[in-house]
Structure 1
Amino acid sequence: MNRMIKYYFIILIFFLSSCKIKSTQSANEDLEIQKIIAIFFEKYKANNTSEAIDFLFDSNSNINKSQIQNLKDKLSSAGLLAGKFNGYEQITTQKASPSLIYYSFLVKHDIQPIRFNFMFYKPKDKWEIYKFKFDDQVDKELEESGKVYFLK
């Protein structure tokens, strides 16, 4: 009986230590991505949209340069129309797997909010931006979600 208790105790310790290692790795990965996002927003706040986009896509060499320039132009004009930047708030984080993570942020401007969506992918040992999108539809989606037919 005493031997069984020791056996279960050893298994419990092994299980708890493996959970701790996994949660520490996950936390470190989340911090790595959050640092990338924070630096992106620092550059965006300084009205340097072009530099912010370059920094974000610097980790992914598979992106077409003309697409990046188009993204820079659209984000720059969207920022001008939305007014002065006043900060950002995280809307959600979704993890499809340990190698694919989605972040959504509400970016606060004087005139209207803009939603930024970041998707990060880790094909080997380094996180890279996989997709970046922005839009000004978050208010319309919020209104739509409050309609009666969604409440049933």
Structure 2
Amino acid sequence: MKKINTKRFFFGLILMTGIICSLYDANAQTATPAKPVTAKPAVAKAPAVKSATAIIDTFFKKYKDDGTSPAIDYLFATNKLFTDSVQIGVLKGKLDALRQSVGTYTGKELIAQKIAAPSLVFYSYLVKHEKSPIRFTFMFYKPKNEWVLYRFKYDDQMDTELEDAGKINNKH
């Protein structure tokens, strides 16, 4: 029986393993050539799910660029349950009249953000105009996968609240 030189055997085994690995790696790189990028036919995509803050940002962009009515229409369109166009029309008319009395929109600042639950959030904004501010409050609800407007309010009574908050012991 022939005696096997273990050093040569292991050296050969390592050498063969290295060769096999390098051949396998070369095949892996060339076996599946990259497919050329081709234009795919237009397929209607589902609209991207927007976060509550993305809805607010779009609302304020429309409020600044397009006016009160398109901004309100966009906001209320997020919830198909808001179907009373008469009440929405009254809201738009009152807000537009207030907006005309306070001057040009100049920006917004977040006053408060509250998360009641992962599916119910509240945002309050100081909406800056040339003459005086307005406060907008938004409440959004996520019944399934998408955020929808749950409540929207506006007022111009922040100065009264601040004065009341500054009273001793908060009593009148």
The yes-or-no answer on 1:49 pairing with 2:90 is no
How far, CA to CA, are the matches of 1:142 and 1:135 in structure 2?
Answer: 14
* Amino acid in structure 1 at the alignment position of 2:60: F
TM-score, reference length from structure 1: 0.76
Q: Alignment partner for residue 117 of structure 2, among 97, 100, 103?
A: 97
* Aligned match of 2:158: 138
Q: Alignment partner for residue 86 of structure 1, among 90, 101, 106?
A: 106
Measure how far apart 1:47 and its partner are. Answer: 4.8
The yes-or-no answer on 1:76 pairing with 2:69 is no
TM-score, reference length from structure 2: 0.68
Provide the aligned C-alpha RMSD in A. Answer: 1.6
User: How many residues in Structure 1 have an aligned counterpart in Structure 2?
Assistant: 122
Q: Identify the structure with the greater helix proportion.
A: 1
How far, CA to CA, are the matches of 2:68 and 2:60 in structure 1?
Answer: 9
In structure 2, runs of 5+ residues without a counterpart are: 1-48
Measure how far apart 1:150 and its partner are. Answer: 2.1
Q: Alignment partner for residue 130 of structure 2, among 103, 110, 115?
A: 110
How far, CA to CA, are the matches of 2:130 and 2:139 in structure 1?
Answer: 26
SS of the aligned residue for 1:144 comes to helix
| Paired-residue identity, % | 48
In structure 1, runs of 5+ residues without a counterpart are: 1-28
How far, CA to CA, are the matches of 1:123 and 1:32 in structure 2?
Answer: 13
Measure how far apart 1:139 and its partner are. Answer: 1.2
- CA offsets per residue over residues 61-120 of structure 1, 9 Å max, x none? 111211111111111111101111110000000111111100000001111100000000
